[in-house]
Amino acid sequence: MSNSNDLAVTRRTRLRDHVGRLLGQWGVFFRGFVEHPRMVGSIIPSSRFTIRKMLAPVKWEECKLFVEYGPGVGTFCRPVLERLPRDGKLLVIDTNPLYIDYLKRTITDSRFVAVHGSAADVEEIVRAIGYEEADYVLSGLPFSTLPEGVGPAIAKATHDVLRPGGAFLVYQFSARARDYMAPHFARIEQGFELWNVLPCQLFWGWKDEAA
């Protein structure tokens, strides 16, 4: 009887801890959206379907540095770290210190680096952590609602920091993201994910191998 009671208590404790972590994550995400709605692409984190499709073209065995803009509460961070080589690095950049503090507290992987800053400064930030270029850059930032001039600056800086053959991975609710990418990426592949709240547009902008 005692063993049954102990097992029931253990299960309730695990369930409580899981719910607590989930509500904590959602609470942080929602607070970040309320405080900075123009800088957060959605009030709901991306679905696993979006994550899987967005990351599908990445050649993980060749990836030394993966960069993410606007990581929020780490919806993409954990899937990226699961796929990243042991000698790879994941750099995330966010202007919201709430998200950066949360990620630093909850992700302890030695390959993970979180920086409070602007994606427009990605070249400087990449150099500051000891790299010259990135293999892939992922962004869910809402380009169409960013302050004037910020979207074009991020698109250019991203192209400049990518290695030849690297890619800019963008997921958005609006197809206008392509307009910001087009001046810098000659080859842009496009997709769509229905199973997301809301359904979203997916873009992969590839940097010319000869660049």
Q: pLDDT by residue (tens digit) across 10-35? A: 665 454 444 444 445 555 555 555 55
68-126 tens-digit pLDDT = 999 988 989 999 999 999 999 999 999 988 889 889 999 999 999 999 999 999 999 99
pLDDT mean over 171-191:
91
Nearest to 167 by CA among 197, 198, 202: 202
Q: For a pLDDT cut of 90, what percent of the chain falls above it?
A: 56
Q: Which residues are 192's β-sheet partners? A: 201
Q: Measured in whole angstroms, how far is the alpha carbon of residue 133 from the centre of its chain?
A: 18
Q: Hey, how many other C-beta atoms are within 10 angstroms of the C-beta on 175?
A: 12
pTM above 0.75, yes or no: yes
Q: How far apart are CA 71 and CA 47, in angstroms?
A: 14
- Spatial strand order in the sheet of 200-206: 112-116, 89-94, 65-69, 134-139, 162-172, 200-206, 187-193
**40 neighbors 32 (Cβ within 8 angstroms):** yes
pLDDT number for residue 35: 55
Q: Is the dihedral of CA 61, 116, 185, 205 positive or negative?
A: positive
pLDDT number for residue 16: 43
Q: How far apart are CA 94 and CA 171, in angstroms?
A: 16
Q: Structure tokens of 205? A: 């902008």
pLDDT mean over 133-150:
91
